[in-house]
Structure 1
Amino acid sequence: MKKTMVLYPGLSVSHFLPMMKLADELVEHGYAVTVALIDDPLQKQIAFTATVDRVISSKPSICFHRLPRVDHLPAVTTNDGEFYLPGYLDLVRRHNEPLHGFLSSHFRGGIQALVVDMMSVEALDIAERLKVPGYLFHPSNASLFAFFLQIPSICAESKRSFSELGDTPLEIPGLPPMPASHFIDNRPEEPPESEVYKAVMDLVRRYTNKCSNGFLVNTVDSLEARVVNTLRHARRQGGRALPPFYCVGPLVNKAGERGERPERHECLAWLDRQPDRTVVFLCFGSTGIGNHSTEQLREIAVGLEKSGHRFLWVVRAPVVSDDPDRPDLDALLPAGFLERTSGQGAVVKQWAPQVDVLHHRATGAFVTHCGWNSVLEGITAGVPMLCWPLHSEQKMNKVLMVEEMGIAVEMVGWQQGLVTAEEVEAKVRLVMESEAGVELRARVTAHKEAAAVAWTDVGSSRAAFTEFLSNADSRQTS
């Protein structure tokens, strides 16, 4: 009889998809996998709901179970549509009992382990009650993992809340110095007694208090060698409150996988007609937070046109648009832009198959918001990147990509809220035409090759994954 692992993913595409790749690896290793889902309470998360439905239909070997809805759902977004952490944590907390009921009634013979999303750390209480090993899945990188472990000591030493630190330079062991504001979105208007601040601090404390079994981190040893080695050294030296961690990345889709959408997108046919490495691909994530203003869209358009380089651009309407799901490109972009650039570029509304585009022979550069999934997809495709962070830890990722990994350049102006057409043109030319662009490609190719080795029989991620399975086995039987 197969051993069973239960996975409990988060409620966003960027957290859900990497955990589903983890599920694939577990199935490949002979485990039965069940995924417990919180029935989407947000309704407006069209991209997330559609992604979940597509994944369920494409993975018949995995069992998916939707937990019953709870009454009086808390708000997980603010009135202006921004993510509200205290509401999200309350939502997950209210599903603890339905999760417990499902696990205790359906798995009387026991489960090998419960793996929960990093934002669902309170669900580890259920693993403890059922006396099964519980692990936390961290879909981002080891650098953010290291930062989370340091937040309490940073605030204690500075005697200020994290939101009050603003652009104060921070030195996290294993990371390059960078402003506090680059790690997470911190708002000066949120004092230490605010609900958001308390929720962040409580979440971080629970990471170390509740997750003694370990973390699964979506990264590759060689990609973040400095911080991974620093963390391992600290753990060997008996570092306080440092749980075991397993670097099991890159957990990303492969080119040609039709789980995202079954049909071949028309933009790939357009790419088929372009020469090798000549197209700049622009895409800014799967959520509405990545929508630019009309002014910014027009600056991008002018810069692309003046660069003279081919481009494939995924455009979403500004959030204030009457219908952001069906943007009117003629109204959003400069007059005549689409006609003038019809032989130079292609503009796609809302969505494109990012992995397939990045792996296409015609793609030569990637303008990205620096979400970790997108960074890994760019690396595994061997495509140099242009960084345009928008929110959360994307600013930290930008520093890592530019300064540590040497695989990207920064689009200057994002901090001021507007990247000019001149900057777009200059950076596109730099990556596509200059010797600096050649060097970027060489470095990202080296990381691509290292990532490809990570899941082979002699790879670091395979070894970490095997160690995790062994750890779960030993804890389950002890």
Structure 2
Amino acid sequence: MDDQNGLKEAQVVVVMVPLPLQSHLNQLLQLSRLISSYNIPVHYVCTTTHIRQAKLRVHGWNPLDNANIHFHELSTPAFICPPPNPNASIQYPSHLHPLFEAITQFRQPIAAIFHALSSTAKRVIIIHDSMMASVVQDITCIPNAESYMFHSLSAFSTFLYFWEKMGKPFPVDAKILQDLPSQEGCVTPEIAEFVHTQVNYWNFSSGYLYNSCKAIEGEGVFIDLLAREEITQNMKQWAFGPFNPVEVCDEKKPSDQRHKCLEWLDKQVPNSVIFVSFGTLTSLSDEQIKELAIGLERSEQKFIWVLRDADKGDVLVGETRRPQLPKGFEERVEGKGMVVRDWAPQLQILGHESTGGFMSHCGWNSCLESISMGVPIAAWPMHSDQPMQTMLVTNILKVGLVVKDWARRQELVSSSTVETAVKRLMASKEGDDMRKRVVEMSGAVKRSVEEGGVSRMELDSFMAHITRS
């Protein structure tokens, strides 16, 4: 364990227990940065593999430079690590189910870390992913420990989940419920069962944390609805997102230290490039890749396209499929478009002045990063909470447009649909209006995390609560 002498003097220590998927790992690592800035030791607990993954992929800061963040590496239990299936009828990455089964074995080693820290600190605060509730259940046996559950989704998605689960205990504005996407096809039956198992362990939490803020989620509408007694039984809650840095300092490093796509962006005019990326848990079929490529080419808009397969349970082991592009595509778009097949610095790309749009799966991480950087979204939901986030971005916030209608999720998105969506976002008055709205929202978000801003005050409130006498 790191820095034992420092621990003996600690009044309060915080332990992060993320779900070992990229978007979840990243959000709690970003939260570790925020909490450690209050001079509180933070202990980030996960497998060796996934800690390495989180460190390599984090944007906007370097966790190795933060002496207040301590990493506890767990041995990865043996599990089957199949490749993703790009042709699956449900696009949720079911190949990760063996990983979900394996993480249930973390209960004992994580409990040992809790007990060790509890003997050297006045209070141990455990912040755990809502999907890791069963793994941290032994905190109930530690007198000086408290747990706070982190919901990795938008407040909008989380509220509607709770509201429906509670039997719709009060009326909601009809505009919110209009055109709600179906939950069918969002996850596989095996993953739905895993989620249900975790929900059974939610009752020992002392409060809920959200990576959101009132500047984004409808001036607090959904955050306030979550606070209603019928939903969370007066449970304490805090929303102090976005956790990611809202200002990106892209230093002009030597070209061999800076991602090639950033060098390319430097040569483009402001708001002229659409960034295309569907996150870490999406695999497109060869046929869909072909249609997307043709649509991008025909749009005649500049683009950066991150073309990768979905992460496996262990991203550091084995070969990954190399998705194939139409013959001659990269040669034809040279100078106008760039295809990136490795890990791309998404936050820096979105924060670059040349980026004017983001074609995205609408994972909550990506939505927050895009909005905080002032970039409108062309929404192409794939699974999980993404259809709900698509509705939030397009219907409610009006900072994006729909590429793929969830009701037609089984259909191929044609090249003409892609072409039309890209032109609407990048080369129309409609797109310009969305860009103006999201830039205004970005400004509000940046003000909210400054001293005296609503998100900063929420974070201050949480820190005052966990460090209370």
Q: Give the alignment's TM-score, normalised by structure 1.
A: 0.81
Q: Secondary structure at the residue paired with 1:216?
A: strand
| One-letter amino acid of the counterpart of residue 306, structure 2 | V
- Cα drift, residue 423 of structure 1: 1.0
Distance 1:265 1:376 in 2: 22
Report what 1:464 is aligned to.
Answer: 458
- Cα drift, residue 336 of structure 1: 2.4
Aligned match for 1:217, one of 204, 207, 210 = 210
* 1:266–1:61 distance in 2 versus 1, CA, 3 Å: same
Give per-residue Cα distances to partners, 1:155-213, cap 9 Å, x unaligned: 99xxxxxxxxxxxxx979994344563487255xx5xxxx6554433323433x222x1
Is the 8 Å Cα contact of residues 297 and 333 (structure 1) preserved in structure 2?
Answer: yes
Percent identity, please: 26
Q: Does 1:443 align with 2:437?
A: yes
Distance 2:374 2:238 in 1: 24
Give per-residue Cα distances to partners, 1:189-246, cap 9 Å, x unaligned: x5xxxx6554433323433x222x11110001121132122223x23xx656352211
Report what 2:114 is aligned to.
Answer: 103
* 1:69–1:270 distance in 2 versus 1, CA, 3 Å: closer
Report what 1:277 is aligned to.
Answer: 271
Aligned match for 1:127, one of 139, 146, 151 = 139
* 1:127–1:171 distance in 2 versus 1, CA, 3 Å: same
- Cα drift, residue 84 of structure 1: 7.1
Moved over 6 A (4+): 76-79, 170-174
Distance 1:346 1:435 in 2: 26
Structure 2, unaligned stretches of length 5 or more?
Answer: 1-8, 86-91, 313-317
- Cα drift, residue 417 of structure 1: 3.4
Bigger drift between 221-230 and 23-32 goes to 221-230
Distance 2:81 2:321 in 1: 25
Is the 8 Å Cα contact of residues 174 and 227 (structure 1) preserved in structure 2?
Answer: no
Report what 2:45 is aligned to.
Answer: 36
Distance 1:284 1:445 in 2: 22
Aligned match for 1:146, one of 141, 156, 159 = 159
Q: Does 1:421 align with 2:415?
A: yes
Distance 2:435 2:216 in 1: 15
Report what 2:27 is aligned to.
Answer: 18
Report what 2:3 is aligned to.
Answer: none
Is the 8 Å Cα contact of residues 110 and 136 (structure 2) preserved in structure 1?
Answer: no
Give per-residue Cα distances to partners, 1:414-465, cap 9 Å, x unaligned: 6133111111111111112211111101111121011101211211211211
Aligned length: 437
| One-letter amino acid of the counterpart of residue 396, structure 1 | M
**1:21-420 maps to which residues of 2 (within 5 A)?**
21-40=30-49, 50-51=56-57, 57-68=64-75, 73=78, 82-83=93-94, 90-110=101-121, 111-131=123-143, 132-154=145-167, 175-179=176-180, 181-182=182-183, 185-186=186-187, 190=189, 196-207=191-202, 209-211=203-205, 213-224=206-217, 225-232=220-227, 234-235=228-229, 241-253=233-245, 254-256=247-249, 263-287=257-281, 290-316=282-308, 325=320, 327=322, 332-412=324-404, 415-420=409-414
Bigger drift between 216-225 and 332-341 goes to 332-341
Question: Which protein has greater RCO, CA pairs closer than 8 Å, 6+ apart?
Answer: 2
* 1:172–1:123 distance in 2 versus 1, CA, 3 Å: farther
| One-letter amino acid of the counterpart of residue 453, structure 1 | R
| One-letter amino acid of the counterpart of residue 464, structure 2 | S
Is the 8 Å Cα contact of residues 386 and 409 (structure 1) preserved in structure 2?
Answer: yes
- Cα drift, residue 89 of structure 1: 5.5
Aligned match for 1:431, one of 425, 430, 434 = 425
| One-letter amino acid of the counterpart of residue 153, structure 1 | M
Distance 2:184 2:373 in 1: 26
Distance 2:39 2:435 in 1: 38
| One-letter amino acid of the counterpart of residue 316, structure 1 | R
Distance 1:250 1:280 in 2: 22
Structure 1, unaligned stretches of length 5 or more?
Answer: 157-169
Q: Secondary structure at the residue paired with 2:23?
A: helix
Bigger drift between 1-10 and 391-400 goes to 1-10
Distance 2:174 2:132 in 1: 26
- Cα drift, residue 60 of structure 1: 3.8
Aligned-residue CA RMSD in angstroms? 3.5
Report what 1:159 is aligned to.
Answer: none
